[in-house]
Amino acid sequence: MRIGILGGTGPAGSALGARLASIGYEVVIGSRSRYRAMEAVDGLKSAWPALDLPVTAGDNVEAASCDVVVLATPWDSAATTAQDNIEHLRGKVVISMANALVRVGGEFQPLVPPRGSVAAHVQAAVPECRVVAAFHHLPAKELGHLGDPIDSDVLICSDDPEATRIAMDIVSHIPGCRPLDAGELSNATAIEAFTAVLLQLNVRYKTRVAPKLTGIKKDPRA
């Protein structure tokens, strides 16, 4: 499976791309500027020369041409970026990982995008795609520490059960991560907004938190 990352030159997108490449996926880091993507890929490969990461650079069109596509753009350009690349995204699983947040004074606060969440806004903008909300709560710095597992649950929601299954399978291969089916895409509103709480905990306790839920005894990957 080839996974493309639209807007993959930012901290979260490039870290996720490196992590996915480290577990065997072919990854294309995309950007509006191919040169920015090349710089990002060069940085990843120089940071982990022994891993021979299967990651390449391209523009957003090349990233959108992959089998599964992750939207790692800023939240307010996610739907527009998807629309701009609809010819290459039609019918595909598109994973939205953006959170609509703003910092007011010393507090992080969630914003309410059109349709209630970034993921739902993307789905409305590209109805031909199978949009999944996932990866919202994984700390970018920990994602980029390729030698260490990430001890976190990953909440996943979509209106397409097969798209949910594909996203859960990808997450299940990331060491330390447990994918959880969080239902339909309407639940992305709460999932995205909860990121503000996690960031506030990071600031208050000077750490990087990740969610772990108790009480689920059945392996959701089974």
Each residue's pLDDT tens digit, 166-191: 999 999 999 999 999 999 999 999 99
Tell me the C-alpha distance between 186 and 119, whole Å: 9
Q: State residue 50's pLDDT score.
A: 94
Residue 59 lies in a domain: yes
For residue 22, being part of any structural domain is answered with yes
Work out how many domains the chain is built from and give that number: 1
CATH number for the domain that contains residue 200? 3.40.50.720
Indicate the pLDDT class of residue 197, thresholds 50, 70 and 90. very high
Is residue 30, in this structure, part of any structural domain at all? yes
Contact indicator for 48, 77 with CB cutoff of 8 Å: no
Domain that includes residue 38, residue range: 2-205
N- to C-terminal Cα separation, the chain: 21
- List pLDDT tens digits, range 99-119: 999 999 889 999 999 899 999
Residue type present at position 66: C
pTM of the complete model beyond 0.85: yes
The answer to whether position 220 is within a domain reads no
| Residue 86 domain-assigned (yes or no) | yes
221 within some domain:
no
| Residue 222 reports pLDDT greater than 70 | no
Considering the domain boundaries, does residue 215 fall inside one?
no
Give 130's pLDDT tier (boundaries 50, 70, 90).
very high
**Does the residue 196 lie in any domain?**
yes
